[in-house]
Structure 1
Amino acid sequence: MYKTYDVLIVGAGTAGSYAAYLMAKQGLSVALVERKRAEEVFKVTGDAIGKHHIEELTKSGLSISNDVFMIKYEGAELYSPDLSIKYFVAGEGYGLDIGKWAQWLINAANNSGADIIDNHTVSTPIIEGGFVKGVKASRRDGTQVELRAKVTVDASGATGVVRTKLPSQYRISEPLLPEDASYAYREIVEVDYSIPNPQNIRIYLDNNISPGGYWWFFPKSDRVANVGLGIWGRLVKENGLNPRINYEKYLASSPYVKGRKLLHTGGGIVPTRRPLASMVGPGIVAVGDAAVAVNPIHGGGIGPALLSSALASKAIIEALEKGDVSEAGLWRYNLDYLNAYGIKQAQLDVFRLMLQTLTNDQLNRGLRARILTEDEVLRMSISGNLDLSGGKKALMALRLLKVPDVARKLSLALRYMNEIKKIYINYPRDPSELNNWLAALVAKYNEYRLKLKLPLMTL
């Protein structure tokens, strides 16, 4: 028989373990539920995280074990499809040993008082009186159990095994559609040459290798790298593309992985979209990939996972103190997330859609014309928009004259990034206003999607 907890967290990845640590540290009774053995938790990712996310993490009181870091990065190299153009965008970060990172966070949660309930596979949420009261799960031996709590946190990853099984009237149940995701495959490989400039991650745009996405080479040492690719989910579903097949066809025998010795392989679905219309429901919140807390351009989710968990934890603690875990009682999380990151995420989603319509020829010509400079790319990645002074606008206009077809798409994206921002700034402060707000958002997105000749969204 399991006790009823204050908080039940489904999934012991980055988001779930960090949320468990934060709330257990504040004295709440917390259960962290994981389908694998705790010692086996391992997430297939690019394994990279920005330095600023680590700095925020340490402010929570966590002492980070140095063995989770494999390498320090200084920036990213971005390559055109024909490899003739290279951008360098400065930005410090780290390459993680993701297995050690996972164990460190789980141990932090456990040491703070969270109960680790591993080897339990969650099947469905328990709904009583309109509220989520926990989940049904099965042990390894097939025994069915109920795990109950005042608040349930879905930290189960992109599949969102709890929230997506709620009735459709719960806005948090919104499905992740293929067009809003990337289907990825990656390998950790040891190579037989000394990797040049291992302090830089490398991103390659090429619609032959990674249609609607990119392929990457992230060094983890001078002989080991995380190498993979992502394909736009829409193309996977419509055209039957497979990231692993593309990897074998284009990368497995390439000079990049010369002497390739496999250390680990894996793949998965990566959300690449705007925030959920709502990340909360009565008695439930979502964090990390389950809440599509990501960077829509490159799919990076470790940093946003930490941020979403920190903000969700604050909202849950406040809701429990007030004795109100209704949708309205947890609503603060939506507002805090949008202010901290979600508005930027939505703007980058607009830019992402435009990028996915560009051909290799357009990418080559656009990068060659430097329609965006390295500084402008960096500014957009930080703020989600591109506010330029009069002089810089004039210089950009001159560059855009060289590639009018690409310029039209870029100008369209920049315009709608601002339009979408205006809508998100007016996100409702009360759940009763959400449907009207969402209708306005979908209408604006569909204006944009029509101009890009993309399928329309539905409510």
Structure 2
Amino acid sequence: MVMIIGAGPAGSYTAYLLAKKGIDVQVFEEHNIIGEPFACTGIITGILSNHFKPPEEVILRKIDSSRIFSPSGDYVDVGLKNDVVLDRAKLDRHLAKIAQEAGAKYFLGKRFVDCAKDRDIWKVRIYDREKGGTETMMTDALVGADGPLSRVAKSAGIYGERKFYTGIQVTAEAENDGFIEFYPKGKDIAWFVPAEKGKARVGIAALERPDEVFRRFVRERLGQDYEKKVVARQAGLIPLYNPKIKTEKDGVYLVGDAATTAKATTLGGINQSLTGAMCLTEAILSGKSYEKLWKKRMGRELRIALLMRKAMNKFSDEDYEKLVNIFKKEKNRKLLENYERDAPSKFAFKLALREPRLLGFARFML
């Protein structure tokens, strides 16, 4: 039996893939409603089609362009390949639905407490939030899909050192032209993402003073009276990828944000969660090393994204101005447009060779 803690995309997609292969799967989610609360822009690249095709009701908006701003307000428009903005709550519920249809069992309002190895099995304590009281259960394999502060990782002794961005976002009444706006701000990121008609997700991810960074940006973008336009609020932690974290130990596995596999450049993590679920399924079915499988599939891309993030964190406003000007050149912009953002290794070095001025930014990676 495989016990999965967490019913987000990482947990439910793992449950679906395993259940489809006839594995006994049980999913425990501490909240009573799947998909709530959520803290996610919902942006996902065309790589999603490598995993599954989301139903139309999950898709809020199809996006074909992004606008990247410099600190002065200058910008460059970059075309996107099959990007969509998803309703994250509906995505979570869709994945849970197909997992249950495949045979996985779900238990809501159940919080993971801790785990202990007893010979060849894991004893797992689960707290019932409605009735109170703790129950001890047995499992052959335990999957931590329980987010950046993973209790499973802590209990199994593989939490490691973690660094987080704090994401704060509102859904607000705001007109837009149908493209994503990105605003690099020192070590921070800000965004304006089209959602339903007449609405947008506006937010930031910051390493320090997130409330201050958020208020400043949202006032700039939506106006001083932005509170009148807000219809929903979300906030959460986003892990910075740490290649040194162990993601498996004696039948305990970490997937998704619990494994810190968010992309360090944009801090997106849905595709990486789904890829991790595929690798974990293969590992459980074949007996192969899960960590070796997922690092072979996406470790290189995550390491390059981390190097790029470290460089970006050292940029001055002048550096960002130069970068936007470089990408205004059609040949550079086209190269960006022809490759998926989830695979920086496929374009970063080609771009550096094509545009020598980019080599000047390499010093920031040291």
TM over 0.5: yes
| Whole-Å separation in 2 of the counterparts to 1:346 and 1:274 | 9
Match of 2:107 in 1: 117
Match of 2:259 in 1: 291
- CA contact 2:121–2:138 (8 Å) conserved in 1: no
Aligned-partner SS, 2:192: strand
Q: Indicate whether 1:312 and 2:264 are aligned.
A: no
Match of 2:58 in 1: 68
- CA contact 2:148–2:258 (8 Å) conserved in 1: yes
| Whole-Å separation in 1 of the counterparts to 2:66 and 2:229 | 25
| Whole-Å separation in 2 of the counterparts to 1:122 and 1:312 | 20
| Whole-Å separation in 2 of the counterparts to 1:262 and 1:311 | 39
Aligned-partner SS, 1:124: strand
Deviations 1:82-137 (A, max 9, x none): 111324143221111111111111111111111111111112122224x6614212
Aligned-partner SS, 1:165: helix
Query: 1:207-218 maps to which residues of 2 (within 5 A)?
Result: 207=186, 212-218=187-193
When residues 371 and 354 of structure 1 are mapped into structure 2, their CA distance, relative to the original with a 3 A threshold, is: farther
- CA contact 2:38–2:88 (8 Å) conserved in 1: yes
Corresponding pairs, count? 359
Match of 1:251 in 2: 218
Match of 1:100 in 2: 90
Q: Indicate whether 1:165 and 2:155 are aligned.
A: yes
Q: Indicate whether 1:44 and 2:39 are aligned.
A: yes
> 338, 341, 361: which is aligned to 1:381?
341
* Greater strand content: 2
| Letter of the 1:365 counterpart | K
- CA contact 2:42–2:87 (8 Å) conserved in 1: yes
| Letter of the 1:37 counterpart | N
| Whole-Å separation in 1 of the counterparts to 2:54 and 2:190 | 30
Match of 2:199 in 1: 224
| Whole-Å separation in 2 of the counterparts to 1:164 and 1:103 | 27
> 204, 225, 229: which is aligned to 2:183?
204
When residues 9 and 215 of structure 1 are mapped into structure 2, their CA distance, relative to the original with a 3 A threshold, is: same
**Offset of residue 335 of structure 1:** 2.0
| Whole-Å separation in 2 of the counterparts to 1:84 and 1:345 | 29
Deviations 1:366-394 (A, max 9, x none): 333449932454558354333339xx73x
- CA contact 1:164–1:175 (8 Å) conserved in 2: no
| Whole-Å separation in 2 of the counterparts to 1:252 and 1:412 | 31
Match of 1:396 in 2: 355
**Larger relative contact order (Cα-Cα within 8 Å, sequence gap ≥ 6):** 2
**Offset of residue 18 of structure 1:** 0.7
| Letter of the 1:9 counterpart | I
| Whole-Å separation in 2 of the counterparts to 1:307 and 1:29 | 21
Match of 2:362 in 1: 410
Aligned-partner SS, 1:173: coil
| Letter of the 1:396 counterpart | E
> 172, 175, 182: which is aligned to 1:189?
172
| Letter of the 2:349 counterpart | D
| Letter of the 2:181 counterpart | R
Deviations 1:202-245 (A, max 9, x none): 111123xxxx121000101331111100112xxx2xxxx1x233
**Offset of residue 7 of structure 1:** 0.1
Aligned-partner SS, 2:341: helix
| Whole-Å separation in 1 of the counterparts to 2:96 and 2:105 | 10
When residues 127 and 108 of structure 1 are mapped into structure 2, their CA distance, relative to the original with a 3 A threshold, is: same
Aligned-partner SS, 1:147: strand
Structure 2: tracts of 5 or more residues without a match: none
| Whole-Å separation in 2 of the counterparts to 1:134 and 1:189 | 45
> 124, 141, 166: which is aligned to 1:135?
124
Deviations 1:260-295 (A, max 9, x none): 532221211112324354321101111111111221
| Whole-Å separation in 2 of the counterparts to 1:89 and 1:165 | 44
> 64, 77, 80: which is aligned to 1:90?
80
- CA contact 2:70–2:324 (8 Å) conserved in 1: yes
| Whole-Å separation in 2 of the counterparts to 1:117 and 1:272 | 30
Q: Indicate whether 1:303 and 2:271 are aligned.
A: yes
| Whole-Å separation in 1 of the counterparts to 2:89 and 2:340 | 31
Aligned-partner SS, 1:86: strand
Q: Indicate whether 1:31 and 2:26 are aligned.
A: yes
When residues 144 and 112 of structure 1 are mapped into structure 2, their CA distance, relative to the original with a 3 A threshold, is: same
Aligned-partner SS, 2:140: strand
Aligned-partner SS, 2:349: coil
- CA contact 2:257–2:273 (8 Å) conserved in 1: yes
Aligned-partner SS, 1:104: helix
What is the TM-score when the length of structure 1 is the normalising length?
0.72
When residues 105 and 79 of structure 1 are mapped into structure 2, their CA distance, relative to the original with a 3 A threshold, is: same
Deviations 1:308-354 (A, max 9, x none): 011101111223xxxxxxxxxx51x2222122111111111011101
| Letter of the 2:333 counterpart | E
Aligned-partner SS, 2:261: coil
> What fraction of aligned residue pairs are identical, expressed as a percent?
19
- CA contact 1:13–1:43 (8 Å) conserved in 2: no
Task: Choose 1 or 2 for highest CA Rg.
Answer: 1
